Amino acid sequence: MNQADFYSLLPIIVLTTWSALLLIVDLFIDDKKKGITAVLAAAGLALTMGLTLSQTGQTVIGFNGMVILDGFSTFVNTLLLFSGLMAISVAYGYIKRRGIERGEYYSLILFSIVGMMLMAQARDLIVVFIALEMLSIPLYVLAAIDNSNAKSEEAGIKYFLLGAFSGGFVVYGVALVFGATGSTAFAEIAASIATGNAETLLVLAGAALILVGFGFKVGAVPFQMWTPDVYEGAPTSVTAFMAAGAKIAGFSALMRVFATAFPDIAVDIAPVLAVIAALTMIVGNVAAIAQKNIKRMLAYSSIAHAGYILMAFAAFANPALRDDAISAGIFYLVAYAITSFGTWAIVISLEKEDGKGLAIEDYAGLGRTKPLMAAAMTIFMLSLTGIPPTLGLIGKLYLFRVVVEAQFMWLALIGILTSLISAYYYLRVIVIMYMKEGEPETVSESWLTFTWGAMAVLTVVLSLIPASLFAWASGALMK
């Protein structure tokens, strides 16, 4: 082990140490002042983000090829740390209100982010597996952290059983890939497949099982059934983190595995992924129409968005388009993360202590009583639909372009049609806010207001200057 090894993982090492120390420091913080823990956790994330950004543009392979620091990992890690900051910002007042405030809440979020970052940097299937568990275990606990509430516990156990089940698929897939290629390192797997030494059948079966496992994690059809229940039952601040963080990590791992370990079987797998993407978009958007609870509606919406990102994988079949597909995919993840955190912040503002205030009807009259909040919500709903002037539209445009270039016209068509369907239920929220009479009760809490305000501004402003953000995403290449 030498300096380069440490340098390749410096942000992760710092964040791990920080979260372990936070566990100890938290013991000395009075129960009434847990806000200090939140601030310390946020400081750790900000410090790590600074370190990550300082590594921009560098490529280092560390720990005997187990991990890599490259443009892709820097970009994804920055996005993950941003999600962590937002997750703490929406949780700060909410968990106090729900009576579930604990110092460990913040440490668990930090550990989960450590797992996610490790996943984005992994270059070996063993590291992918361990990172997957490291990000999942804190999420299982966080989903069930309100342990006097049956719904939260139910969400925790459902998420756990399905997460462990999908972990089993990943492990078996890795076992088959190892058997076929004799290695778990991405580069060696790719080399073994390219030279034709590998058993194609075993590799395909292994890749399919790994895909099934990650399909569960990101909520792709037909493995989406846990999503609405878990999203509804978990405390809303945890749901917000799950929706953004787990998706970013899951997709970044999928992208790296399929781009660097299985490039030569991408042609065989792309049509399958295209069908999965199409089904995911259709099921997510159609099921969302019938929902009356906003958390469930957003859960189905998150399934639908997973479908849009999966479209990027269809373009993997064409090696020339691979980099474009990856940039479009991570750009969409940025757009989704920003919009979804803003939306969840508003949902949290309207949620009452006893879990009421989550029906879409409860948003009636928001346009009159809280014009700014309603305006922000309008922006988020437009962005989720993909209507200008929002980031969601730009994200969809890049994705559709790459899908069309890859000759998947039918897939792009389904994407556009399902976006039209989604307009119905997103715009319904706007209509209810402005057209219906009602007296919605909201909680004004400065960090929540900051979150939805800042996210609304980002959604609009970044959509006006997409080129610079996209240039950064295009620079986020895998080495």
Q: 89 vs 107, which CB is nearer to other proteins?
A: 107
Q: Which of 51, 85, 102, 469 binds other proteins (CB under 8 A)?
A: 102
Q: Which of 72, 75, 92, 129 binds other proteins (CB under 8 A)?
A: 129
Q: Does 183 bind other proteins (CB under 8 A)?
A: yes
Q: Which of 18, 92, 94, 140 binds other proteins (CB under 8 A)?
A: 140
Structural tokens at position 439: 């007296």
Residue 268 to residues 192, 204, 272, 316, 342, Cα–Cα distance (Å) = 17, 9, 8, 10, 38
CB of 310 to other proteins, least distance (A): 23
Q: Does 150 bind other proteins (CB under 8 A)?
A: yes
Query: For residue 2, how many C-alpha atoms fall within 13 Å in the half-sphere facing its CB?
Result: 4
Q: Which of 61, 229, 359, 421 binds other proteins (CB under 8 A)?
A: 229
CB of 202 to other proteins, least distance (A): 8
CB of 24 to other proteins, least distance (A): 11
Q: Which stretch binds other proteins (CB under 8 A): 133-141, 258-266, 383-391, 405-413?
A: 133-141
Q: Does 347 bind other proteins (CB under 8 A)?
A: no
Q: Which of 42, 174, 306, 399 binds other proteins (CB under 8 A)?
A: 174
Q: Does 93 bind other proteins (CB under 8 A)?
A: no
| Burial status of residue 390 (CB atoms within 10 A of its CB: 0-12, 13-18, 19 or more) | buried
Q: Which stretch binds other proteins (CB under 8 A): 36-44, 146-154, 241-249, 309-317?
A: 146-154
Q: Does 268 bind other proteins (CB under 8 A)?
A: no
Q: Does 253 bind other proteins (CB under 8 A)?
A: no
Q: 115 vs 386, which CB is nearer to other proteins?
A: 115
Count of residues of this chain found to bind other proteins when the rule CB under 8 A is applied = 71
Residue 339 to residues 229, 322, 330, 384, 452, Cα–Cα distance (Å) = 21, 26, 14, 7, 9
How far apart are the C-alpha atoms of 158 and 230, rounded to whole Å? 7
How far apart are the C-alpha atoms of 270 and 41, rounded to whole Å? 40
Q: Does 222 bind other proteins (CB under 8 A)?
A: no
Contact positions with other proteins (CB under 8 A) in 287-346: 296
Q: Does 127 bind other proteins (CB under 8 A)?
A: yes
User: Which is nearest to 306 in space by CA: 279, 338, 344, 341?
Assistant: 279
For the window 40-79, what string marks contact with other proteins as x by the rule CB under 8 A?
----------------------xxx-xx------------
User: Which is nearest to 78 in space by CA: 60, 99, 53?
Assistant: 53
C-beta atoms surrounding 3 within 10 Å: 9
For residue 185, list its beta bridge partners: 124
Q: 5 vs 405, which CB is nearer to other proteins?
A: 5
Q: Which of 11, 71, 84, 228 binds other proteins (CB under 8 A)?
A: 228
Structural tokens at position 236: 């809303």
Q: Which of 158, 247, 370, 396 binds other proteins (CB under 8 A)?
A: 158
Strand locations in 216-271, DSSP E? Answer: none
Q: Which stretch binds other proteins (CB under 8 A): 168-176, 260-268, 307-315, 440-448?
A: 168-176
Using alpha carbons only, give the angle 356, 357, 363 rounded to the nearest 5 degrees: 165
How far apart are the C-alpha atoms of 224 and 219, rounded to whole Å? 4
Q: Which stretch binds other proteins (CB under 8 A): 118-126, 314-322, 330-338, 428-436?
A: 118-126
User: Which is nearest to 53 in space by CA: 81, 86, 15?
Assistant: 81
DSSP states of 367-413 as a string? HHH-HHHHHHHHHHHHHHHT-SSSHHHHHHHHHHHHHHHTT-HHHHH
Q: Does 172 bind other proteins (CB under 8 A)?
A: yes
CB of 226 to other proteins, least distance (A): 9
How far apart are the C-alpha atoms of 128 and 256, rounded to whole Å? 10
CB of 402 to other proteins, least distance (A): 34
